[in-house]
């Protein structure tokens, strides 16, 4: 049995001190990340240069001693590998060519063709695994199909994912075919990450909260269930973490039906509710407000201890409710770690 704290928690063990890592732990709040980022011409170059991507993956482990590393890449590499044009515009975010018609869909690459573009990511995984301390597991990841589809359909981030919802209503055949293509590509991508050395996988459904109730099961739960099942069939020991961000009460049906081993809770989820409704069934991860790492001070200490206490009765991985922001102070991350690891002796 793998007795690393992160693996024990994900298997459902209640630990005296929760393992901890942070969403977006490699990022612009770290001066050493900004230094490596400056050596890459573009953000995509950083993602596709294994030496640089491996280096930024390892930086937060060295600095903070987190209990897990997460591969440095982006959820939009899958659309890119399916043939979408993709650029990250400095200060604005991603811009992609759009997929809204059967013709657009026909121009996409087949799902099993993504590995040619994504091969550097697998090399990053190999390099990180070789360089990581043995006691630190490596998390691989992908975007969940719905969230990836929202970017492919709109060609950019949108406040309410309206273009994707409209396509699902107006042309369900094209929409479903796009979701199927992303499911197949994502499954192959995650299996290849595990083959290269990833020991946990996480599916980021950042826009799950925009799905109306009747579509939540179909486009959030079902794709996650199929992808998790494929990963577990090939690698029964690899835990899958789901993150249906913003799902509210949908977290309960996701926990019951998606077949994942852990659920990442967004900032808005009430900890007492989650401890009662979700934790008896699976490991929960979360869910400190990332802005507390900007604010710092006693508010950070109090909220960190409250999160640890709320989930102390079951399996818990300490994390943020969403990604750490560029404005966060690294000293506040140290402070959070002291509050977690000092909280229970
Ligand atoms: O967590 C980690 O440290 C691993 C790396 C990681 C990145 N993106 C690096 C990144 C992960 C897991 C992601 C996931 C991701 N990417 C999501 C899902 C998680 C979430 O935040 O909800 C989404 C929606 C994306 C798409 C994306 N990538 C957007 C919208 C942007 C632009 C906005 C921004 O924050 O700048 C990115 C860029 C991005 N991905 C950065 C990083 C570190 C910042 C770009 C830079 O450093 O130049």
| Residues annotated as part of the active site | 24, 28, 37, 74, 151
List ligand 1's pocket residues with C-beta within 6 A.
23-28, 37, 43, 70, 72, 74-76, 88, 93-94, 141, 157, 204, 206, 323
Do 71 and 193 touch, CB atoms closer than 8 A?
yes
Four-residue CA torsion sign, 150, 152, 148, 136: negative
Give CA separation, 268 vs 154, 209, 272, 300, 322, in Å.
26, 11, 12, 16, 10
Antiparallel, parallel or unpaired: β 93-96 and 86-89: antiparallel
CA dist 210 and 154 (Å) reads 14
Mean pLDDT by 10 residues, the chain (345 residues): 97 98 98 98 97 98 98 98 97 96 98 98 98 98 98 97 98 98 98 98 98 96 98 98 97 98 98 98 98 98 98 98 98 98 63
Orientation angle between helical segments 50-64 and 330-341, nearest 10 degrees: 50
pTM above threshold 0.75: yes
How far is ligand 1, taken at its centre, from the CA of residue 276, in Å? 31
User: What is the pLDDT at residue 345?
Assistant: 40
Name which residue sits closest to atom 25 of ligand 1, judged by CA: 75
Query: What secondary structure letter does DSSP report for 20?
Result: B
Backbone angles phi, psi at 235, to 5 degrees: -135, 80
Atom of ligand 1 nearest to the CA of 73: 5
CA dist 199 and 203 (Å) reads 14
CB proximity list for 116: less than 8 A, separation 6 or greater: 81
User: What is the pLDDT at residue 342?
Assistant: 84
CA dist 130 and 205 (Å) reads 29
How far is ligand 1, taken at its centre, from the CA of residue 14, in Å? 30
How far is ligand 1, taken at its centre, from the CA of residue 75, in Å? 7
């Amino acid at each position: 049995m793998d007795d690393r704290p992160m693996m024990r928690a994900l298997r459902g063990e209640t630990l005296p001190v929760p393992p901890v890592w942070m969403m977006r732990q490699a990022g612009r709040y770290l001066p050493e990340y900004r230094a490596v980022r400056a050596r890459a011409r573009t953000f995509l170059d950083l993602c596709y240069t294994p030496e640089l991507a491996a280096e930024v993956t390892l930086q937060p482990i060295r600095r903070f001693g987190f209990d897990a590393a997460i591969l440095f890449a982006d959820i939009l590499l899958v659309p890119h590998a399916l043939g979408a044009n993709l650029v990250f515009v400095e200060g604005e975010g991603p811009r992609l060519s759009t997929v809204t018609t059967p013709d657009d869909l026909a121009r996409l690459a087949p799902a099993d063709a993504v590995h040619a573009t994504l091969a550097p990511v697998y090399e990053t995984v190999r390099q990180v695994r070789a360089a990581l301390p043995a006691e630190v597991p490596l998390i691989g990841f992908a975007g969940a199909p719905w969230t990836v589809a929202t970017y492919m359909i709109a060609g950019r981030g949108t406040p309410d994912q309206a273009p994707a919802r409209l396509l699902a209503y107006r042309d369900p055949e094209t929409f479903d075919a796009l979701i199927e293509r992303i499911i197949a590509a994502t499954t192959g991508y995650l299996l290849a990450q595990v083959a290269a050395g990833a020991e946990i996988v996480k599916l980021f459904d950042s826009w799950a909260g925009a799905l109306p109730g009747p579509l939540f099961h179909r486009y959030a739960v079902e794709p996650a269930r199929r992808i998790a099942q494929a990963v577990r069939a090939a690698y029964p020991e690899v835990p899958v973490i789901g993150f249906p961000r913003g799902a509210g009460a949908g977290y309960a049906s996701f926990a019951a039906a998606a077949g994942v081993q852990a659920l990442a809770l967004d900032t808005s989820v009430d900890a007492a509710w989650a401890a009662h409704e979700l934790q008896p069934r699976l490991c929960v991860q979360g869910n400190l407000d990332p802005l507390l790492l900007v604010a710092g001070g006693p508010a950070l200490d109090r909220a960190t201890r409250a999160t640890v206490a709320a989930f102390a009765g079951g399996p818990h991985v300490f994390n943020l409710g969403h990604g750490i922001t560029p404005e966060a102070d690294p000293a506040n991350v140290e402070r959070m770690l002291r509050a977690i690891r000092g909280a229970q002796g």
